[in-house]
């Protein structure tokens, strides 16, 4: 049976989390609603992440990896995953496992009638500053994109791969994935998912990344929306 769903796992200096990631994703693959493979994208980690990733992939036939020559950022890691996925459906999850892989099944149920389904972190377990900065950033982004999404930063998403491959990714654009699906006349939905505190490793985003950076990205999105090319073939020879 062919794989139907690929989970992209961006990794940057997550050696403390990777064995737990292996356990949780291997467990999920056994209960997944679609036959699932996992694709690690190592974003130029400086710690022992790559050695652990290769050991994990040697233990599981449905685990694979890509290794960047140097650190290029989360959007680049997600883009590389999109470029290499061959299954009809693509998802991604952060290596910190603050979201639960089993919740992919909730998103997969909803993807039947949509092109993108994103998690909505219920009862978030982050600090007050992180929660407030995300709340403000999401409000600003919604005002620019009108995508109706409350939590585009949730690192749990499922996307139809043909739509994902048409997204012109730029640095920071991972926050705008629902809006980019709307530009393709796709249908989007958010589904409440579990959220947990980070128990190992360190967060990769600070106040600038969560608040000021996304504000600048909103103006880039408006420019892209104005210039975006979208078409459908009605007939061909």
Model pLDDT, residue 165: 95
**In the predicted structure, residue 124 carries a pLDDT above the cut 90:** no
The domain that holds 116 is classified in CATH as 3.90.550.10
Higher pLDDT, 86 or 203: 86
Range of the structural domain that residue 187 is part of: 5-227
Tokens 């600048």 correspond to 216
Band (54; pLDDT cuts 50, 70, 90): very high
What pTM was computed for the model? 0.84
Do the domain assignments include residue 81?
A: yes
Residues 6+ apart with CB under 8 A from 44: 12, 67, 68, 69, 70, 71, 72
Residue 32 token pair: 């997944």
Q: For 22-33, what is each residue's pLDDT tens digit?
A: 999 999 999 999
The count of domains in the chain is 1
**In the predicted model, what is the mean pLDDT of residues 92-114?**
95
Do the domain assignments include residue 25?
A: yes
Do the domain assignments include residue 97?
A: yes
Alpha-carbon span 159 to 82, nearest angstrom: 10
Which region among 67-71, 82-86, 176-180, 224-228 has the lowest average model confidence (pLDDT)? 224-228
Alpha-carbon span 237 to 234, nearest angstrom: 11
Do the domain assignments include residue 233?
A: no
**In the predicted model, what is the mean pLDDT of residues 64-81?**
95
Do the domain assignments include residue 235?
A: no
Do the domain assignments include residue 234?
A: no
């Amino acid at each position: 049976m062919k794989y139907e769903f690929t989970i992209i796992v961006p990794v940057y200096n997550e050696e403390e989390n990777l064995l737990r990631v292996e356990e949780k994703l291997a467990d999920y693959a056994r209960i997944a609603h679609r036959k699932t493979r996992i694709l690690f994208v190592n974003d130029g980690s400086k710690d022992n992440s790559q050695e652990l990733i290769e050991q994990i992939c040697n233990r599981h036939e449905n685990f694979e990896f890509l290794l960047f020559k140097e650190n290029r950022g989360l959007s680049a890691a997600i883009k590389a995953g999109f470029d290499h996925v061959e299954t009809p459906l693509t998802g991604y999850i952060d290596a910190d496992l603050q979201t639960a892989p089993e919740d992919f099944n909730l998103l997969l149920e909803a993807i039947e009638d949509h092109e993108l389904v994103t998690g909505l972190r219920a009862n978030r377990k982050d600090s007050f500053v992180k929660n407030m900065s995300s709340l403000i950033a999401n409000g600003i982004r919604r005002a620019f994109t009108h995508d109706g999404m409350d939590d585009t930063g949730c690192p749990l998403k499922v996307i139809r791969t043909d739509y994902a491959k048409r997204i012109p990714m730029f640095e920071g654009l991972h926050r705008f994935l629902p809006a980019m699906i709307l530009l393709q006349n796709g249908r989007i939905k958010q589904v409440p998912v579990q959220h947990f505190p980070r128990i190992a490793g360190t967060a990769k985003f600070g106040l600038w990344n969560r608040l000021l950076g996304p504000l600048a990205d909103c103006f880039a999105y408006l420019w892209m929306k104005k210039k975006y090319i979208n078409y459908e073939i009605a007939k061909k020879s």
